Amino acid sequence: MDGRDLETMRAVVRVCEGVTPEEAFDIASADAWLAFDAGVRNLDDRPWLFTRPPGEPERPAPTLLDRLRGRTGSRAAPPTSPPPPPPAIALCHPDGRVREAALDAVRTAPELRPLLVVRCADWVAPVREKARAALAELPGDALFPLADVILRLSRRERGDFARTLLEDALREGPAAEVLALTARPGRATYRLAYRVAVERGLLTPMELATTAATCGDVTLQDLCAEAAVRPGATADPDAAAVLDRLLAARAPRVRAAGVTALRRAGRHGDAELFLVDRSGVVRACARYVLRQGGVDPLPVHRGLCADPAAHPAAAAGLGECGDRATDAETLWVLLGHPLPSVRVHAISGLRALDAVERERLTPLLDDPSPAVVRAATRALLPDAAGIPESLLRERSAPERPRAVRVAADRLLRAAARRSRPAPGYG
């Protein structure tokens, strides 16, 4: 039993002894409610979970199953009328009839509504149907505090009922309640809230662009960036500011959405700045927008490579759209540039052109820049079997820089895999 299981068991014990769920565990956590529900059902005889009250004589400690049955002392002498278990325990009881009867208590105990949601996915049909009827009677805004539990339960086989109620409530409920859920820490909750907010138009394009540019959730980045630049989403005076917010984002997928939207805004020329973006996706979007505006990006790339220190990523872009016979030698020359970033992008460009030559690239395994060593290693992996093993063994020695040792080990493993015969063949 790990620490969390033990904590759950102790929470169950405390609730059995009359403590409220709020005092026993974190009721704001959906996982804590689900663990509590499972904990009540899965308990076995654990007398060490209980402590003997001071002054009470020695006797067999009551197990939790005894408590669930209403026993407080020895099993041999149960009381004639055992007290019922607390409602929170009864709602999770192993006996479906007990769970079904306990659902009536939720009407006067709103703090137990998370367990009502749990019972909506119960495996016993009468319990499930009664719980669903009770949940459907609640006003829509009563479901918002339960969103985390509802969405956590929606992963279960019978968990879609409560989710449907929640989605309907969000689409019809007050805008302030929907926007409040966008700030919840639960990923499933804030994603659903944002989807509904976008559907209902509750967020301005600038708010959407800001969210896309500042959040770390890639699903939210895509959702908000696409909504911010949707046709008709913003008036002309604000469109430029929205686009500029996306174009300045740290996340490549957000910048790519902004660059692509330049075409619709008629700002084809602005895409030229992003031909040297550090992200290949953004560079590809920039080339698309320029072509749509009647501009061939290849001559632009060739011109940018004349000043590689100012535009290191131009080398990678040249490889992505250039001609192998014409442009490969330019990239080989750039491998001798003093800036490591230029050398890294030149290697990427050679890979894109399929112009990697093992003998010319192998010396870069000794490059002083770890980034260049890693880039060269990735480019050499398909042809690792052609590199002399002695050369790689020498570079895996302990006195070599770590990046060089790692590169040599990767290439040695790749060479071994390629030289190993396939199973079943001589």
Under the banding of pLDDT at 50, 70 and 90, the label for residue 85 is: confident
Mean pLDDT is lowest, of 47-56, 249-258, 340-349, 373-382, for: 47-56
- Which residue, of 323, 339, 355, is where some domain finishes? 355
105/19 same-domain check:
yes
390: in domain: yes
Residues 5, 103: one domain? yes
In this structure, are 397 and 311 located in the same domain? no
Identify whether 166 is part of a domain.
no
Domain boundary among 256, 277, 294: 294
Tell whether 347 is covered by a domain: yes
Domain that holds residue 381: 361-419
Long-range pairs for 84-90 at CB < 8 Å and ≥24 separation? 85/16, 86/15, 86/16, 86/18, 87/112, 88/15, 88/20, 88/21, 88/36, 88/112, 88/115, 89/12, 89/15, 89/16, 89/40
**In terms of domains, do 290 and 300 share one?**
no
CA distance 215 to 254: 10
Is 203 inside any structural domain?
Answer: no
Tell me, yes or no, whether 273 and 305 share the same domain: no
Q: Tell me the mean pLDDT in the region 240-249.
A: 94
The band of 233, judged by pLDDT with boundaries at 50, 70 and 90, is: low
Which residue, among 364, 322, 325, 366, has the nearest Cα to 342 in the 3D structure? 364
Q: Does a structural domain hold residue 163?
A: no
* pLDDT tens readout for residues 324-370: 999 999 999 999 999 999 999 999 999 999 999 999 999 999 999 99
73 in any annotated domain: yes
- Whether the pLDDT of residue 394 is over 90: the answer is yes
Quick one: pLDDT band at residue 426, thresholds 50, 70, 90?
Answer: very low
Phi and psi at 224, nearest 5°, equal -75, -35
Q: Is the pLDDT of residue 311 over 90?
A: yes
Sequence-ordered alpha helix ranges (H) in 146-204: 147-153, 160-172, 175-181, 187-200
- For CA atoms 287, 290, 292, 298, the dihedral sign is negative
Does 152 fall in a domain? no
Range in 46-55, 96-105, 377-386 the model is least confident about: 46-55
Residues 285 and 311 placed together within one structural domain of the fold: no
Tell me, yes or no, whether 22 lies in a domain. Answer: yes
For the chain, how many structural domains are there in total? Answer: 4
Lowest mean pLDDT among 132-136, 144-148, 418-422: 418-422
Q: How confident is the model at residue 52 (pLDDT cuts 50, 70, 90)?
A: very low
Same domain, 90 and 1: yes
Higher-confidence position of 157 and 249: 249
7 and 130 within one domain: yes
Shared domain check, 412 and 321: no
Q: Are 77 and 123 members of one domain?
A: yes
Q: Do 264 and 339 fall within a single domain?
A: no
Stretch (H or E) spanning 292: helix 280-292
Give the global pTM: 0.79
User: Residue 306 CA to chain centroid, in angstroms?
Assistant: 41
Same structural domain, 336 and 348: yes
Q: Give pLDDT, residue 2.
A: 57
Q: For the residues 364-388, what does the mean pLDDT come to?
A: 94
Q: Look at residues 328, 355, 382 and tell me which one is the last residue of a structural domain.
A: 355
Residue 16 has pLDDT above 60, yes or no: yes
Mean pLDDT of 383-388: 91
pLDDT surpassing 70 at residue 59: no
- Quick check: 71 pLDDT over 70? no
In 368-401, which ranges are continuous DSSP H helix?
A: 370-380, 389-395
